[in-house]
Amino acid sequence: MRATELYRHLLGLVAPWEVSRVELSVADGRVDVWAQHPRRTRFACPQCERELAVYDHCEERAWRHLDSCGFLTYVHADPPRVDCPDHGVRQVRLPWAEPSSRFTMLFERLAIDVLKECDVTGAARLLHLSWDEAWHLMDRAVARGLAAKPQVVPARIGVVEKSAGRGQDYITVVSDLDRGTAHYLVDERRQASLDSTSTVSPPSSRPVSRRSRWTCGSPTSTQPEPTSTTLTRRSCSTVTT
């Protein structure tokens, strides 16, 4: 099997996309893969899905992909753009990466699995990423989770104070007891942390810190039994709304 055909399968590319060439650099420890589409290919507008001719192409971009036998692997392409009568010039969706991402979707999936098992520093070291790149992947995952999470008012909520670092560094977690998910997270463990905002408003409508956002929308580890009907600054309390 030719290298171009092999990487077409590894990337999951389907028509009209194909791999035009593959370059291996043993000295640099990396593999570079170029994807392209045939001339006269028509693409859908990302806003309205209307099929249109290619207007032009953006400058070549590169996306980090899953490693190839220990070699860092990058996908290169000139993203096409279409001129939609209703939405103007727009870059089309690419099958291997989400908009504004510097990583393929397969790499992001692996990175999130690693980040769930260890801290950011360890994940960055294992994935050969910078600390900022690891946080960027985490932020994107949280944004996707919040966008997909139904905005409902929990019938029962639990309040837990959790240590988030060394010393007296805490966050307050408000969870949906019936669904077993985090509903709201805020820095510190003061009464003001809860008084500053409504705990029954959708989580995506409230600003939270980067540290707190990571677990929002994921299953909580414990679900405390109902012990109170008032929202007070205690280590664990439950409220029925």
Question: Is residue 5 over pLDDT 90?
Answer: yes
* 65 or 183, higher pLDDT: 65
Question: Is residue 215 over pLDDT 50?
Answer: no
| pLDDT value of residue 196 | 53
Residue 113 exposed, middle or buried by CB count within 10 Å (0-12, 13-18, 19+): exposed
Give 128's contacts (C-beta < 8 A, 6+ positions apart). Answer: 72
Question: Is residue 191 over pLDDT 50?
Answer: yes
- 115 with 169, same domain: the answer is no
- 168 with 139, same domain: the answer is no
- 64 with 183, same domain: the answer is no
- 139 with 164, same domain: the answer is no
CA distances (Å), origin 8, targets 63, 142, 239: 15, 30, 53
- 169 with 112, same domain: the answer is no
- Domain final residue, candidates 103, 129, 147: 147
Q: What's the pLDDT band for 195 if we cut at 50, 70, 90? A: low
Q: What's the pLDDT band for 235 if we cut at 50, 70, 90? A: very low
Task: Residue 232: give the domain boundaries.
Answer: 156-240
- 125 with 77, same domain: the answer is yes
- Domain final residue, candidates 85, 114, 147: 147
- 136 with 34, same domain: the answer is yes
- 40 with 106, same domain: the answer is yes
- 48 with 68, same domain: the answer is yes
- 32 with 125, same domain: the answer is yes
- 137 with 73, same domain: the answer is yes
- Domain final residue, candidates 125, 147, 169: 147
Tokens of residue 187, six digits: 């820095």
- 25 with 78, same domain: the answer is yes
| pLDDT value of residue 207 | 42
CA distances (Å), origin 85, targets 57, 94, 205, 218, 221: 18, 21, 33, 41, 50
Pair type for strands 30-36 and 71-77? parallel
Tally of domains within the chain: 2
Question: Is residue 227 over pLDDT 80?
Answer: no
Tokens of residue 75, six digits: 């996908």
* 145 or 19, higher pLDDT: 19
Reduced to 3 states, what is the DSSP secondary structure of residue 51? strand
Global pTM? Answer: 0.72
* Of 31, 32, 42, 77, residue with least CA distance to 57: 77
* Of 48, 34, 43, 57, residue with least CA distance to 15: 43
Q: Which residues of 175-199 are buried (b: 16+ CB within 10 A; e: fewer)?
A: bbbebebbbbbbeebeeebbeeeeb
